[in-house]
Structure 1
Amino acid sequence: MTNTPDTRPDARAVTRLYARLVVSDGPRAIDFYRTALGAEEIERYTDPEGRIVHAMLRLGGAVIAVKDADDGDPAPDSLGGSPVIMALDVSDADAVAEAMLRGGATVVYPVADQHYGQRGGRLADPFGHLWMISQPIEELTPEEIQARTTDLFT
């Protein structure tokens, strides 16, 4: 048996990753993401009753999918919340938070200057999804961030 390198494409290679947000009202959610986050709808597919089975939205350089809840995919508001936090880096965290609040989001943690060099906070959108909104305010090394984090907990 020869020891030749395997030149086949890696079957485990990730070709795309995006969040798929299950919501209780797909059209309203898309409107919220469009108005609050500047999302652009790329595609939408519906079942015969008009429920969204898949809609793709572009947020800056990222994409997310949205779909209406069904028996197989419950929305966070039917489960008492979501353990997943969407992290959204923006140019103005205060402005994005205000737009989200106008659209019906609620504050989990208010936008403030953070020890790790970001200005940010956490909001829950009207559909139960959590969003960490942040913008850089100072450039720190990993060591500086770790030292500040250690100081915070001691």
Structure 2
Amino acid sequence: MDALYPRLLVRDFPASVAFYRAALGVEPVKVVTEAAYANWDIDGQAGLVLFGRHHIAEVVGAGGLPPAAAQDTVMLVMKVDDVDGEADRLVALGATVAAPPQDRPAWGPGLRTAHLRDPEGNLIELQSY
């Protein structure tokens, strides 16, 4: 398992992209406005990723909850070879499932994810292509 990068889950995607574009002084490598996704690479590795908070809130079942109180703001993304197997392994270690393993073709061709919470409640995304 490889820890890839932190992903900031933002409410105002256009404003956040504009802020980080100016703050970092470089253009993002990828911006997908309809998916509320942007990433900046540092030396060929994802250094910062922004993602619309409402998208993840829907995925993990928090979409109907008040954003400030219940929706996550940060998520650790981990690349794995086998999303299903790693999800089971982490559950055995004490994680809880927020969204079970599933294919996400709208997020990227061949992408499979699972969303878990560590014992402290932090959101983790497992992903494989």
Alignment TM-score > 0.5, same fold: no
Task: Considering fraction of residues, name the structure with more strand.
Answer: 2
TM-score by length of 2: 0.41
- Determine which structure has more spread, i.e. the larger CA radius of gyration: 1
